[in-house]
């Protein structure tokens, strides 16, 4: 890894070298989590199981907030536990003291340093919540205030756009919920191999990046488990190519943003095999009626409806698909940015640790 | 009211006649809710109080989802009750059965007809939740499935962009939470007068609409109670002017979208008096460092930092301000659309009742 993420003026030859390297490292990260992280995850699951939480709150910002949304679906669908995303400002701006008995609060932050997340976690613990921190930084302030901690094991991340820490957050949440079910992560065993094969299909991604050469807007969409992927893809493209890229759940898209769609408006639809794909069919119908320019990443039938497409390997359960399906989209964001002469490692105006309260 | 919202080809002279009329009706709607709605609201509050819910879920889509976010802040900050926004697809797409004992679920839908909201409410009731529907349509399917119902009393809404039903949702939520505190809505008594005075200041809105004559993007921001206003303003501008208008909470803005900001990028900041305004100061600092073109609606000190501004009347508690501060922004969306020759009453491609599951 180079340190060109630190300077803004990286030489053209190494634009996005860190983002490219970190994207490529993900199969190894998955192996490491499955090999070295599983015992700690099962141990945390045992402690959570013993407390029998009634509600789950997920506390995060930015990229990790997309992982939090994935966690919300997992806890609700797989465990039947109602889950919500927090607004940290409730605590940090308004000083609210919530009754959090029987609540599990999971705070997700790669750096473990955002002051609002640290403070809201400390207050939640004080208000009776069982607190768990997911960070990529053991010893960070967040790991000090949370009762429980899981290390993401992703290794140092130098590029500002989050790639491997995002998928590490997803996989850790998956394994945690699986362990709460009494599983041992068997369904994830194939993930490193599938990730490697998918990352090798770079030509297909390059073709999409070429298509988007002059796009200055993008809407992404998905439903259910695929919606966090649509959000993370939009965030990556926005950060790295400085485009107006925005995600809407398939349902919300029909409630307003659809009015933006004109012929040739680029729309990225995430449609992996499963229930979410079936629910997205009427949304795809409507987008095609409006002649949107559709890029579908997903199962073959939906993919066949796209002007361009990338077919995902079959066989993973729908709830694991988000760990895989984001990989080509990370690569897409990287290629689009480099194609525009931008350094995806250090987007204009952004800072690594965001200090808000 | 005319019926030009129904036809797509309204005569140029009456573009947006329904939206304009419905925006202007809001002071009367507030009076009606305070006069005729309060007893029913207090009655529902008594029933909720007797059940002592531990957790609140808010269930909504589109505009009503912004009202739901306001409700989340209210329940958490004013009552210390943890609150979350639902993902209806958890139930309708994945068939999840959540343990919802001790949960109050409030479903907000002007039409009361969206199939996913009706189904998710029915399932929640079956799963043990206390269910309350807020609709503008007594007798709608949603009022049949929810255990409790409050009528928004806003009168028929013909324009597709929601104006008076949105503020009726906010005021009803406010009065409900106030009643749960044992209040009688005293702080809201001045609202109709303040709303009338604010709506009369149309010249100030026209000046901003002129400034945005050729804008094709807009970012809006706010923190805490003001964030739902920023979201609703972005939704209205997007729907009516077909612009890429997007809202970010002040904290989330610093986590990525800030990279979009270039000199003269239009940013709308909602900064009413209160804690949210204080927390937004560092965000305004950063936006000004990046030479954003700032329109501030809010208290005088923040307003002075905007290239253009609109000073809100002082004296309302921060938690009531959202009912007021959206009014000039509704008018702004209307004027921008009409200035572009668009009919804000019937945006391209949108339908009144959105049928998703």
SS (H, E, C) B120-149: HHHHHHHCCCEEEEEECCCCCHHHHHCCEE
Separation CA A296–CA A294 (nearest Å): 6
Q: Would you give the DSSP letter of residue A35? A: I
Give the pair of three-digit tokens for residue A90: 């409730």
Separation CA B130–CA B59 (nearest Å): 13
Chain A residues with CB inside 8 Å of B88's CB?
A: 251
- Please give the helix or strand (H or E) that residue B254 lies within, else none: helix B250-254
Chain A residues with CB inside 8 Å of B92's CB?
A: 279
User: Which residue is it, tokens 């298509």?
Assistant: A211
Separation CA B309–CA B316 (nearest Å): 19
In 3D space, the residue among A330, A346, A349 whose CA is nearest the CA of residue A4 turns out to be: A346
Say how many C-beta atoms besides its own lie within 10 A of residue A79's C-beta.
17
Residue numbers of A between 130 and 159 with CB closer than 8 Å to B:
none
Nearest chain B residue to A265 by CA: give it.
Answer: B244
Q: Judge contact between B248 and B219, C-beta under 8 A.
A: yes
> Nearest 5°: phi and psi at B351?
-120, 155
Residue numbers of B between 190 and 249 with CB closer than 8 Å to A:
217, 223-224, 227, 235, 238-239, 242, 244, 246, 249
Helix (H, G, I), strand (E, B) or coil at A25: coil
Strand order across the beta sheet in which A244-249 lies: A244-249, A217-222, A266-271, A293-298, A308-311
Cα of B71 vs its chain's centroid, Å: 10
Beta bridge pairs of residue B85: B58
Separation in Å, CA B183 to CA A312, B240, B323: 56, 38, 18
In 3D space, the residue among B114, B142, B146 whose CA is nearest the CA of residue B130 turns out to be: B146
pLDDT means per 10 residues, chain A with 357 residues, are 39 81 98 97 98 96 96 96 92 93 97 94 97 97 98 96 98 98 94 97 96 94 96 96 92 86 94 92 94 97 96 94 98 97 88 64
Separation CA A166–CA A229 (nearest Å): 10
Stated length of chain B: 357
Q: Which residues contact A71 (CB under 8 A, 6 or more apart)?
A: A56, A58, A83, A106, A108, A173, A177
The number of CA neighbours under 13 Å toward the Cβ of A82 is 29
- pLDDT, residue B209, reads 97
Separation in Å, CA A54 to CA A57, A68, B173: 10, 18, 25
Q: How do the pLDDT tens digits run along chain B, 357 residues long?
A: 333 333 343 444 589 999 999 999 999 999 999 999 999 999 999 999 999 999 999 999 999 999 999 999 999 999 999 999 998 889 999 999 999 999 999 999 999 999 999 999 999 999 999 999 999 999 999 999 999 999 999 999 999 999 999 999 999 999 999 999 999 999 999 999 999 999 999 999 999 999 999 999 999 999 999 999 999 999 999 999 999 899 999 988 987 888 889 888 999 999 999 998 889 999 999 999 999 999 999 999 999 999 999 999 998 999 999 999 999 999 999 999 999 999 999 987 777 666 666
Nearest chain A residue to B55 by CA: give it.
Answer: A55
- pLDDT, residue A13, reads 53
Helix (H, G, I), strand (E, B) or coil at B88: coil
Separation CA A143–CA A135 (nearest Å): 8
The C-alpha angle A153, A157, A163, rounded to 5 degrees, equals 85
* Minimal Cβ distance to A94: which of B65, B77, B85: B77
- pLDDT, residue B215, reads 94
Chain B residues with CB inside 8 Å of A251's CB?
A: 61, 88-89, 116, 354, 356
Q: Judge contact between B286 and B257, C-beta under 8 A.
A: no
Beta bridge pairs of residue A244: A217
Q: Is A311 exposed, middle or buried (0-12, 13-18, 19+ CB in 10 A)?
A: middle
Q: Judge contact between B83 and B75, C-beta under 8 A.
A: yes
Please indicate whether, in this complex, the C-beta atoms of A259 and B238 are within 8 angstroms of each other. Answer: yes
Separation in Å, CA B75 to CA B53, B149, B208, B227: 11, 18, 34, 15
Separation CA B81–CA B176 (nearest Å): 14
| Contact status of A31 with chain B (Cβ, < 8 Å) | no
Helix (H, G, I), strand (E, B) or coil at A244: strand
Q: How far is A176 from chain B (nearest CA, A)?
A: 19
Q: How far is A35 from chain B (nearest CA, A)?
A: 31
pLDDT per position as a tens digit, A185-206: 999 999 999 999 999 999 999 9
| Contact status of A276 with chain B (Cβ, < 8 Å) | yes
Where do the H-state alpha helices sit in chain A?
17-24, 26-32, 38-51, 62-73, 79, 89-92, 115-126, 141-145, 164-180, 191-199, 202-211, 226-241, 250-254, 275-289, 300-303, 321-325, 327-339
Burial A205-229 (b: 16+ CB within 10 A, else e): beebbeebeebeebbbbbbbbbbbb
Please indicate whether, in this complex, the C-beta atoms of A256 and B62 are within 8 angstroms of each other. Answer: yes
Separation CA A241–CA A236 (nearest Å): 8
pLDDT per position as a tens digit, B198-254: 999 999 999 999 999 999 999 999 999 999 999 999 999 999 999 989 999 998 898
Give the pair of three-digit tokens for residue A332: 């897409």
In 3D space, the residue among B40, B36, B80, B32 whose CA is nearest the CA of residue B56 turns out to be: B80
| Contact status of A81 with chain B (Cβ, < 8 Å) | yes
Nearest chain B residue to A255 by CA: give it.
Answer: B62
* Minimal Cβ distance to B94: which of A260, A275, A357: A275
Stated length of chain A: 357
Say how many C-beta atoms besides its own lie within 10 A of residue B357's C-beta.
18
Nearest chain A residue to B347 by CA: give it.
Answer: A259
- pLDDT, residue B10, reads 42
**Cα torsion for A60, A64, A66, A69, to the nearest 10°?**
-50
Q: Judge contact between B296 and B305, C-beta under 8 A.
A: yes
- pLDDT, residue A3, reads 39
**Cα torsion for B265, B270, B273, B276, to the nearest 10°?**
-90
> Nearest 5°: phi and psi at A271?
-135, 65
- pLDDT, residue B317, reads 94
Chain A residues with CB inside 8 Å of B250's CB?
A: 356
Residue B159 zone, left/alpha/beta (φ > 0; ψ -120 to 50; rest) = beta
Say how many C-beta atoms besides its own lie within 10 A of residue B336's C-beta.
26
Separation CA B98–CA B124 (nearest Å): 8
């Amino acid at each position: 890894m180079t340190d060109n993420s630190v300077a803004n003026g990286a030489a053209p030859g190494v634009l996005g070298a860190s983002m490219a390297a970190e994207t490529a490292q993900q199969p190894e990260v998955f192996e490491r989590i499955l090999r070295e992280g599983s015992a700690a995850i099962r141990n945390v699951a045992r402690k959570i199981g013993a407390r029998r939480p009634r509600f789950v709150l997920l506390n995060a910002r930015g990229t990790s907030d997309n992982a939090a949304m994935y966690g919300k679906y997992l806890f609700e669908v797989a465990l039947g536990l109602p889950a919500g995303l927090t607004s940290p400002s409730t605590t940090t701006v308004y000083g609210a003291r919530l009754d959090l008995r029987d609540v599990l609060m999971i705070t997700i932050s790669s750096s473990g340093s955002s002051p609002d997340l640290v403070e809201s976690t400390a207050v939640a613990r004080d208000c009776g919540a069982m607190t768990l921190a997911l960070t990529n930084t053991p010893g960070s302030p967040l790991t000090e205030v949370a009762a429980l901690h899981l290390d993401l094991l992703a290794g140092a991340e130098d590029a500002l756009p989050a790639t491997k820490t995002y998928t590490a957050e997803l996989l850790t949440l998956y394994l945690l919920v699986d362990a709460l079910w009494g599983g041992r992560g068997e369904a994830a065993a194939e993930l490193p191999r599938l990730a490697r094969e998918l990352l090798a299909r770079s030509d297909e991604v390059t073709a999409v990046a070429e298509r988007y050469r002059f796009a200055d807007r993008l809407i992404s969409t998905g439903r259910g488990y695929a919606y966090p992927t649509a959000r993370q893809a939009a965030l990556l493209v926005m950060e790295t190519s400085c485009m107006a890229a925005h995600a809407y759940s398939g349902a919300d898209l029909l409630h307003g943003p659809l009015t933006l769609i004109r012929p040739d408006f680029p729309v990225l639809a995430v449609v992996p095999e499963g229930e979410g794909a079936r629910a997205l069919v009427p949304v795809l119908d409507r987008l095609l009626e409006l002649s949107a320019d559709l890029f579908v990443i997903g199962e073959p039938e939906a993919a066949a409806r796209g002007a361009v497409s990338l077919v995902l390997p079959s066989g993973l359960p729908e709830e694991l698909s988000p760990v895989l399906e984001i990989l080509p989209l990370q690569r897409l964001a990287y290629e689009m940015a480099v194609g525009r002469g931008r350094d995806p490692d250090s987007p204009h105006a952004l800072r690594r640790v965001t200090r808000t309260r």
